[in-house]
Chains A and B, each alone.
Chain A
Amino acid sequence: MFQAIIKRLVGALPALFGVIVVTFILTRALPGDPAAYFAGPAGSQEAIEEVRAKLGLDRSLPEQFVLYLRDLARGDWGYSLTTGQPVLTELAERLPASLELTLVGLVLAVIIAIPLGVLAATRPGSWIDHLCRGITTAGVSLPTFFTGLLLAYVFYFLLGWAPSPLGRLDPYTTAPDFVTGFYLIDSLLAGDGETFVAAASQLALPAITLALFVLAPLARMTRASMLGVLSADFIRTARASGLHPFKVLFTYAFRNALLPVLTTLGMVFSFLLGSNVLVEKVFAWPGIGSFAIEALVASDYAPVQGFVLAMALLYVLLNLLIDVAYGLVDPRARLEA
């Protein structure tokens, strides 16, 4: 098993190299000149050239690429020109914010979508089946930035139930001591209930926004998969053996239906990482998505490259995790060394 995981990770290296090449070329191909940007609107031609030379942008592209690779190999992801901080430090500081948001959104979606899909499949044509269909249709047709704005408008502006959508904590609360970077967990570890509530209430709206977005594919897949499994031969065998209906539904049907749901889960998690960028912008969430957008606007190459590379690494790890989970459920899919 351990060996298989190592093998998978090594197998992902070519893909990662591809990501490095493509982001390098794409960032260079983007319109905008970082040297001109950082020299400022008043910068003379001379000043611009000076900045260009300082950034190493006066060299040929292959030369720049080799230098970039050399730095990466040393663990140096470059500096953000806007903040002056190393990219790696910036990403490490912001990643927990994004992950916390994504994971809470995902867990919320799973908690709602899977029971909904199972109930809809066991009672086709019932009101819960129609509810499931309604929610999934609404979920796929509403873009996240729209649901985000709508939720903020209704629950913050109109009803005043939610705090102002400005980041992870209101200005009067201090962040808990860093342990995991997840405020919910860190505040609990610190035994600070007040901070926990503050963090949770800030998190609620963006997490619900993300959850609504991924609810649809999860619920639909759960329903379809359960329907398929419930008509399988082995379910009939289980019924003929007189097994309790709950046993048939959960141990026999649900565990088998879980396989395509897991695959979908992996896919929607990747969608979430992508759509985070917009949701973070709407809720002023200090995650890596909003960081990347700011860098992109400023033609700040290193953070953009770093962001894409970090995402690619996350994808690789995520896919591995899904494969391992798949193997736990299905003995036929166990990773072979």
Chain B
Amino acid sequence: MSPTGKTLLEVDRLAVEFRTRSGTVRALEDVSLALAEGETVGLVGESGSGKSVLSFAAMGIQDPAARITAGSLRFAGQDLLAGKGAAMKALRGREMAMIFQNPRVALNPIRPVGKQIEDVLARHTDLHPAARRARAVECLAEVRIPDPERRYAAYPFELSGGMCQRVMIAIALACKPRLLIADEPTTGLDVTTQAAIMRLISELSAERRMATLLITHDLGLAREYCDRIAVMHAGHIVEVGPTAGLFAAPRHPYTERLIAATPVGANSLDELAAIDGNLPDLRRDDLPACRFAERCPQRAAVCDAPLALLPAEGSHRVACHLPRKVAHSLERKHVASA
């Protein structure tokens, strides 16, 4: 993390709702998250916790049924929600870009990959056609695709999954954005390819001082590549902090269980602890203040009181009334004084 870096993306008390026939889904509530320039932040949590909803809202590509009901989104100080999303439209694909999971189906199947890069360049730059083509080949080379001149004319079905993900990264980075949102970029790829893709993303992020939001349910991946981690559960951010501190001393019982449920090295299956219960139904009217309370083994009366992210130690913050105590005496003083 670069603490001196200026804040690039700032999500402040964001709430997103989906109006469906069976009720209103409160998919995000009171979500705040900031990304500094050049910083890589991991957004982790189980499926359905709202990771993708948050990133889609930040890009302005959410489902038509989704509504932002409260909060603000700012990019480099600019209000993204201003002018019915006109501000967002100007930045999307140019200043902020996104890559997705399952790269083979996330590319237009009947358009040569080079052309798909050119489409982005045509939209956001003034390059004339010949320069555009040259730049597209360059983009392919930048994501270390061998023989880019030939690959320019290839269709997605002629490329491997890893190559397709490289192409998607090339599309996202064609206009040199300052923010990259990577939504499970390695899902659907085999393990060795995963590592190569993650290395590529982190190298490019470092080279260009590009802020990166890595969305994943793979804690191991987040631990390896992220400066900070934000843990989401049922539309809330329950804990956020520097990677090392968060893994060494998770304060939220959900984070603790999430880490315990992640296989590390030679763990046998028996040692992995599953998290009891399911995400609460977000259409309910009687959602508790802490949406983890109903699954939480240490639930107490105080848990029904309103809740917010509170500082635990340094920039490490947690949304829990009964955060896990850390044995260290100095840290305890920290918590007490906070």
Contacts and interface: CB of A to CB of B under 8 A. Distances in A.
A251 B119 CA distance: 10
B92 A233 contact: no
A232 B110 CA distance: 13
Interface in A322-337: 329-332
B322 interface: no
Given A233-B105, A256-B109, A331-B155, A243 B100 contact: no
B98 interface: yes
A241 B172 contact: yes
A234 interface: yes
A306 to B, nearest CB: 41
Interface in B59-116: 59, 61, 89, 91-94, 97-98, 100, 102, 105-111
Contact of B107 (A237, A242, A329): A237
Contact of A241 (B102, B110, B120): B120
Interface in B5-26: none
Given A236-B61, A251-B119, A243 B107 contact: no
Given A241-B97, A242-B120, A242-B124, A255 B110 contact: yes
A251 B111 CA distance: 9
A130 interface: no
Of A238, A244, A247, A329, most B-chain CB atoms within 10 Å: A238
B123 A236 contact: no
A159 interface: no
A232 B156 CA distance: 15
B159 to A, nearest CB: 12
A329 B120 CA distance: 21
B107 A234 contact: yes
B168 interface: yes
Nearest to A330: B110
Nearest to B93: A242
A142 B108 CA distance: 39
Contacts of B97: 240-241
B108 A234 contact: yes
A252 interface: yes
Contacts of B157: 331-332
Range class of the B interface residue count: 20 to 34
B171 interface: yes
A242 B155 contact: no
Contacts of A238: 108, 119
A70 interface: no
Nearest to A231: B63
Contacts of A243: 93, 119-120, 123
B92 A242 contact: yes
A252 B172 CA distance: 17
A290 to B, nearest CB: 42
Overall SS of chain A's interface:
helix
A7 interface: no
Contacts of B120: 241-243
B98 A240 contact: yes
A164 to B, nearest CB: 48
B89 A234 contact: no
Contact of B171 (A237, A247, A332): A237
B61 A240 contact: yes
Contacts of A234: 105-109
Nearest to B158: A331
B90 to A, nearest CB: 8
A233 B93 contact: no
Nearest to B105: A233
Contacts of B106: 233-234, 236-237
Contacts of A255: 110-111
Given A251-B119, A332-B155, A332-B157, A240 B108 contact: no
Interface of A: 232-234, 236-244, 247, 251-252, 255-256, 329-332
Given A234-B108, A241-B123, 19 more contacts: A233-B102, A234-B109, A236-B100, A236-B106, A240-B92, A240-B100, A241-B92, A241-B97, A241-B120, A242-B92, A243-B93, A243-B120, A251-B111, A255-B110, A256-B110, A331-B155, A332-B109, A332-B110, A332-B157
Interface of B: 59, 61, 89, 91-94, 97-98, 100, 102, 105-111, 119-120, 123-124, 155, 157, 168, 171-172
Nearest first, the 10 closest Cβ-Cβ pairs linking A and B are: A242-B93, A242-B92, A241-B93, A240-B98, A233-B106, A233-B105, A241-B120, A234-B108, A237-B106, A239-B61
